[in-house]
Structure 1
Amino acid sequence: MTTSALARAPRLRADPLAVAALFGALVSISAGASFAKGLFPAVGPEGATALRLIVSACLLSVAFRPWRTLGRRDWRALLPYGIALGVMNLAFYKALSFIPLGIAIAIEFSGPLAVALLTSRRKADRLWIALAVAGLALLLPLWSGAASLDPRGVALAAAAGACWAVYLLAGKRAGEDHGIAAVAGGMAIAAAIAAPVGIIHAGAALLRPEILLLGLVVGVVSSALPYTLEMIALPRLPTTTFGTLLAAEPAVGALIGLVALGEALAPSQWAAIALIVAAALGAALTGEGAKAEPHG
């Protein structure tokens, strides 16, 4: 398409399938987080994380059989992706035991936001990132009540954000090199990390039928489905566009919390949602047409 045609009829330049897959993943993750809270009283965040990742790894392994396509060298290459995935989930679920879901998501988003900023090449990217930052500033209780946030929760959410940044970069390369098998392989590695932690913390409670059933639901909705959708999106979107589109997650999480958990939002939080969604839409409308080369 020529420049004049673009000027006459702006259109979504990022891959529509990739954008749809990514937003589907965000909705699924937020919905799964609301289900996972039902596991906390019985098995704690550690047990919930272990169940989530074990169920996801089993389902994805049956579906995609990574052992048939991944060699020993491939498994080694997937280690950064899988380790980041496992630690990210453990840190984020543990953070939820200290601080609210919306705050944890906003802090965790600092990871992909940093990736978007560091990989930005154009002025338009910086505009959408600035809008996302402004929205996140409104979501966080920076001006009142910040001192009431448990520092353990803030630190854990920030650690999850750092792991999310690694996942973003390592996952893009893994998806380009191994396709959908990378999701199953990375999830198996993540489950191997989380399982011992969950078993030590929750023990035999993990085997109760009602816990296993809810764990199955959480595993499918929180991990198997969204990470598969993200792996579809990662190779098709430039890193900056992907990272900025993820700015919609706090907004999606707030809306899921309102519908599923009855969490009311303040006017400033609605304003934050508007800014974050504007950043996400702007990134989609002006994203580069070609996918970015992986950064080495």
Structure 2
Amino acid sequence: MPDAMCTFAARADRLILAAMELKSTLYAVRDGIATITLNRPHRGNGWTGRMHSEYRYLLGEAEGDTDVGAILVTGAGRMFCVGGDAQALEGHSERGGYDPGTTPDLVTPGSREFEAFIEDFAYHFALSKPVIVALNGAAAGVGLVLACYADVRFAVSGAKLTTAHGPLNLPAEYGLSWLLPRLIGGAHALELLLSSRKFLTDEAHQMGLVHRLCEADALVEEARAYAIDLITRVSPESLRQSKRQFWLDQHRDVGAAVRDAGVLLNEMMGQADYREAIKAFLEKRPAEWGKESKA
């Protein structure tokens, strides 16, 4: 097999043939869920340009796979992502500037409907499928950024989180100064951004940043169970549009949101999955999404 091709499997997961050789991540699809694992446990899953390139590539793979309904992101080992890899940070200092270290063929996953969502990490908002993060351990700097750009966050209790930028003479990274206030409110967000202090996932849960705390040995399975329930009960188009509406509406006025909702309401009531949803509701059974297209 050529070096540029690499095959990965996980238990009963179906084989994934990746066009990009994965050195810093793992990828598997099972039960309609694409799982992306940050896979540099010997470095605390420290973020590198290579990892960023692979991560974006895998998001693009999951986005384009019709068998995938949701995306799960977690870390290998005992940490989620300690932030920028220490060697990479030292390299920035020696160069006197920031070098992302990404590959030339960097993938920008998701829709191009809204230009702002093309930027680093904002591309999460352009994806049509929900992204669920399972924080298996500490998340700092860019690791916390990645978690915040997900749609739903599960975490183990007692894991340390921090924005990390202040003691490194850095600004709040990747739009976190825009996103964090929208997730937990201005007062909490400003304090965390100013102090760059360490706080636990338990406090993050109290703030509303973490949606559910789990035991370490049950974390991924609980996140998977949530994802399976989500893609089973909710139609793919409703998931796509609900996510799209939420993030677009952070950038537009209420009138535009209402008008867009009205257009979508009319369009989606004409779709096959609406007919199936009503039929399933009346027959008191689970809906079979895409039933007409499979017939």
TM-score over 0.5 (shorter chain):
no
If the length of structure 2 is used for normalisation, what is the TM-score? 0.30
If the length of structure 1 is used for normalisation, what is the TM-score? 0.30
More helix by share: 1
Identify the structure with bigger relative contact order (alpha carbons < 8 Å, sequence gap 6+).
1
The structure whose Rg is larger is: 2
More strand by share: 2
